[in-house]
Amino acid sequence: MIELILGGARSGKSRIAELRAQTDYTTNPSNNKKIVYVATARVYDDEMAERVKLHKQRRSQQWLLIEEPLGLANVLATHNHPDIIILIECLTLWLSNLLCDTDPSQFLGEKQKFLEQLQQSKAKIIMVSNEVGLGIVPMGELSRRYVDEAGLLHQELAQISDRVTLVVAGLEQDFKTPGS
C-alpha cells in the first residue's frame, strides 16, 4: 500500500499522515510491526530547528527515526518488509536537497531509484509532500525547476500510489482510493 498526501504549508498533511501511520499500527497488531519515520529535512536555522522540534514532540518515541536527506531508495530497500510502515516527511524537502546539492544532476538518478524501490516495496508507505504548483510561476530558474520537478514527481507518484489525498485547512479530500 502506497499513500501520497499532498497539501500546502501548515495544511495539516503531516498530522494526517502521522495519524494514518499510528492507526494502521494499532489496528493491525503484529509483534514485528514498526513505524519508520524518514525525515528528509536539513536544519539550517533556528526556524527549521523549531519545526523539527514540533514534529518530534507530536510523534511517538517508539517510532524509529531515520534522518536521510538524499538516499530514500536505500531506506526503502533496507526496510522492505510487510510489517513495516514507512512515513516519509517530506518529498519536497528531499527534492530541494537534491536540486541544491553540489551535483544537481544527481536528482534524476535518485528519483528513478526511489520510484523503482517504491514499486518493489512490501512495506506500507505514506509519503508527505507540499503541493507547490497552485500559485504563481516563480521568477528564478531554480525556483521554476523546483516547481516543475515537484509537479512531475507528484504525477508519477500519484500513478503508482494506491491512495492520494489533498489536505486543505486540516480537511482531507481523497482523489484516489484503493481499487479506484
| Residues annotated as catalytic (active site), given as ranges | 55
Residue 102, SS3? coil
Cα 81 off chain centre by = 18
Dihedral of CA atoms 39, 2, 22, 29 in degrees, nearest 10, equals -130
Separation of alpha carbons 125 and 71, rounded Å: 16
Strands 163-168 and 171-176: antiparallel
Q: 147 phi and psi, to 5 degrees?
A: -65, -45
Pull the grid cell for residue 11.
495544511
- Contact (Cβ atoms closer than 8 angstroms) between residue 98 and residue 106: yes
Separation of alpha carbons 133 and 26, rounded Å: 35
Separation of alpha carbons 76 and 99, rounded Å: 21
